[in-house]
Structure 1
Amino acid sequence: MHGSLRVRIKNLPAKPGVYIFKNSEGRVIYVGKAKSLRNRVSSYFHADSGDSPKTRLLVREIMDMDYVLAGSELEALLLESNLIKRYKPHYNIRLKDDTGYPFLKLTNEPFPRLEFTRRVEADGARYFGPYSSAAGLRETLRFIRRVFPMRMCAEMKKSPCMYYHIEKCPGPCSGGISPEEYRDNIRAAALFLDGRAADVVVSLEKEMLQAAAEERFEKAAVLRDRLKALASVVSRQQNAVFADRQDRDAVGVAVEGRLACAVVMSVRRGLMTGHESFLLEVPDGETREAAMSAFLKLHYAHAGTVPREVIVSHEPPDADLINEMLTERAGRKAKLTHPKRGAKLNMATTALENASQKLADAAVKDKLDREKRRSMTIALTRRTGAEKPIVRILGFDISTIHGGNTVGSAVSFLEAAPEKDGYRKYIIKGSGRDDFSSMTEMAERHFRRVARGAEPAPDLVLVDGGKGQVSAAAKGIAASGFEPFPLIIGYAKKTGVSHIHGRKTPLMLAEEEPSSWLVRRVIAEAHRFAISFHRKKRGQAMTES
């Protein structure tokens, strides 16, 4: 540890907060919380601090440090969770899916709507989740909209929109549904998402019988159809787990190598309502207890609903602080339980068994994926005649409409897998109004960063287009002064022809070839990333005008 860092650590305040360790490149490698920043950070550099291999490796890499003061240890815990999600530090336990797990958002409006989101904001809306499967959640959203009709438009107009005319919306904008009936639909949807489908059924049955008694047969028929749709869901939730009808979650965590799996089993009103599984990346040698602590903080710091009790298969070392966090997030008393016997132990054991099985399945899939990716990189190296193995690929694309709001994207693939920390966006600044000049500018700017060590050097550069785009990219890389010059290939999607810089004969890749699949995957991802950025910039420009 160099002298200036030693002095900074010595002068740290003895107050709660979050400390941030960085390596020689300025990259965040670890985020931690502390009741006393001075005591906790100093402990890493004591002679007896290297008990664990993880700590020894971490300390060797620490070259810089930052910190953020917090009002309490609980506030530090919540901030730590947010920073881990933001920086994804190598030595922290973190969720494997870095896109963020999905939620359903019930908006805070006179006529609320449900929407899919990956961000939880302090906007007065109610959030349900997180869920582990985006596809499954979208299917749930379609089911809810069908059973409990509600508006789908982002902004409610004064007259019926397309959704009303295709019978996807009850039409609150035109008086097609009364405010009271609309509120009933929203209330029922929220109960359903809370795992209380049985309560919804009871309410609908009463309403259906009343409608029939009042000879409102059309209304009774609508309610009958909703009950039929809910029947299959309710039948899966009929097995009572606890007689006291309390809301609980059971969390099991399994760890193997650098991968962990957490399973959350949900019990609402004493009935099992479902479960979600989450994969985590963990440092080598991490314990189940530490993994449990990290997962509980990551999950419940952002969860839409916190039950009264969370049952765990392994007791985290900071159980008291997590208890405090659960209570704060729930807005009422909530507790963490590590059971020793009875029904709660059985549930914790079941959650652990599910986590172990899903972890084993994920490990097999991960191995197969690695083997598949390796075969693709070997095939691409062989087919292109590259002088060294193609390990890191950089994909370039330009997005514009008539030369306006032109942007560029650079996506990074490492061993045939997306490396999203290496994705970069570029706003094209030059006066060029065509793809070629824009490509040249982006390539030069990006490779200037590579030349000074701010970005890793790729083994292959893929551009979306033909000879013109390849020449434009080569011109930009040459202007950057970076050496050695990388292999550059342009892939024309319409013809499937790949043009290699400096070679007269193009490369023809058959669609079924592993190397072709990898090239198309990188090009498609670069295109997607560029398009999404361009839409955002275009939307901002329209708003400003």
Structure 2
Amino acid sequence: MSADLTDKIAALPLTPGVYLMKDSLGHIIYVGKAKQLRKRVQSYFYNNKGHSPKVKQLVKHIRDLDYRLTDTELEAFMLECQLIKEIKPMYNRKMKNPLAYSYISIVSAAPYRQIEIGYEPSSAAGSLVYGPYTSRSTVERAVLGIKESQRILCGSPHSRSSRCLNYSLGLCMGMCGGSAEAIAYYEAVIDQLICLLEGKDNGIVAGLEARMEEAALRFDFEAAAKTRDTLGAIRSLLQKEQVIEFTGANKNIIVLEPVDGHSHKLILIKGSVILHRTLLATETLHEGQLTGTIAAAAREVFHSSSQAAATEEMSRHKIDEAQIIYSYLKSSSGHYLLVPPEWLAEESGAELEEGIAGLVQSAVIEL
């Protein structure tokens, strides 16, 4: 590492922001975000024994860097996502396979519905599609675990005359033999899976949790661990569905994120799009002034915002942005308010201000 790069890294601030790694030609080869820029960038060059081969390869090509400061960590996350989409740096593509986004499709087919996993949603008529999911391996692990636990892992799904090998192993109920009873059971499991992915029923998860406890009680720790891994994969899928549902509802969101002991960042979001942000000197404003300022901004911004976010397809970049916002809002440090559309009407001004007053109380006054 050159002396100039060493000095540049040492001079980085301990504040949120985005760093842009460059090669010898000045090309941006990697974009990352950090809560504390200096510590994060230093971690690439020191105590790097635990780095993956791809990160070690990246470090070999870094000759310079640039950075952009943000007031808050949430803004750093969103800026990173935006810059990766615009610049498409080589090592961001290498470290996150663009084909890693997968879909689960429930496809109507004879003699019974099929579960398909693909990089694109099924185009077959009448198909139900869930996703996109950011990890193919997680999707495959969850679906395989469900099939095994529910005994619907058929090795010959199109056969109507002979049993598959999995039937003899106890992993298939016998749909492959054309058993009407087995097919009815299979279809019931598919209905349960659909309800699970749509957040309407948790029966499959509850059954797996009970099975895991039973395995542990009889000291079958291998079976318990396998079930635990399946549950982890399923919960990951369910969280992703919650992200898509949350964002697709195109909610109006007010965020108050602390910057320092004197100020907060007001961020107004619709769906997964940041519409407005401004720095508020919260130390110098009393509670009523803060409430009034935020309410005025919310009315103006949310009223004038276009409805593009409501109709925009959930693309791969949108799911990344949605995940950032959703994760922040669900974190213990997130202070936010969901604003129902009816609160923006003039006659509902008291409800909006009451909601904002509660947000100010928790995010600012109680700190």
> Which TM-score applies when normalising by structure 2?
0.34
The structure richer in helix per residue is 2
Greater C-alpha Rg: 1
Report 1 or 2 for greater relative contact order, CA contacts < 8 Å, sequence distance ≥ 6: 2
